[in-house]
Each structure stands twice: as C-alpha cells, then as structure tokens.
Amino acid sequence: MPRLFNKFYDKIKAKLGDVTGPKAWLVNRALNSKLYYLKDGQGWNHKVYDNIVFGKIRAFLGGKVRIMLTGSAPISGDVLDFLKVVFSCPLCEGYGMTESGGGSTITFSNDP
C-alpha cells in the first residue's frame, strides 16, 4: 500500500511543480498553510483551499474520500502529511502483520 501512496505523492508533486505564476503562489501558500495547521494540531481541512486548490486532486479519487488506510510497510512522514492535506482526510497506518494484527494496532484518525 505505501508504494501506491508514494506513486500518488510523486504524481501530484510533479503536477503541482508544473504550475507557474500566481497559481504557483496560491498552491504553495495553500500547501504550506495546511501543513502548518496539521502540525499545529488544527486538522487538515481549510474551506477555501480545499475547494479552490485541492478540489481537482480530490476528484482524482472520486472526490468523496473520507479516510485512507495504509499498512504492510513503513511510509514516510512527509508523504503522510502531504496526502492528508491534499486529500483533506485522515490517513491511518496499521502496524504488525496485515493479516492478523494490523487492524488492532491502527493509528487514530486524528493523529497529526
């Protein structure tokens, strides 16, 4: 599962990196602002940035993602934080063997 999320991360980062001019300023401001609020414990949602900047990215997964889960291998904290703010939903990690213990050792959805 982390491999899939890393592919999402790489593709989205590349698309956002291609943006220039005022759009690039808005994307960088939105991303940095949401990452700051996430680290500060204020969540991953922002009414304006979620609709204007990240709406098309959320539509990539259908637009109605409520929670994302990962397990089976460690995933970078930067990738986790980036995907949380871009998709505006919690991304939880399961620890242990996926077949047996992953579901019982999953992180809380409000973990920063």
pTM: 0.83
Q: Does residue 44 lie in a domain region?
A: yes
CA 105, 108, 101 angle in degrees (round to 5)?
Answer: 10
Per-residue pLDDT at 20: 92
Q: Which residues of the chain have pLDDT under 50?
A: none
Contact 91, 80 (CB under 8 A): yes
Q: Does residue 64 lie in a domain region?
A: yes
Number of domains in the chain: 1
Task: Report the sign of the C-alpha dihedral through residues 3, 62, 102, 78, in that order.
Answer: positive
Per-residue pLDDT at 25: 95
Per-residue pLDDT at 112: 62
Contact 105, 96 (CB under 8 A): yes
Q: Does residue 112 lie in a domain region?
A: no
Q: Give the residue numbers spanning the domain of 62.
A: 2-105
Q: Does residue 99 lie in a domain region?
A: yes
Q: Does residue 29 lie in a domain region?
A: yes
Q: Does residue 48 lie in a domain region?
A: yes
Per-residue pLDDT at 63: 80
Per-residue pLDDT at 99: 63
Per-residue pLDDT at 24: 93
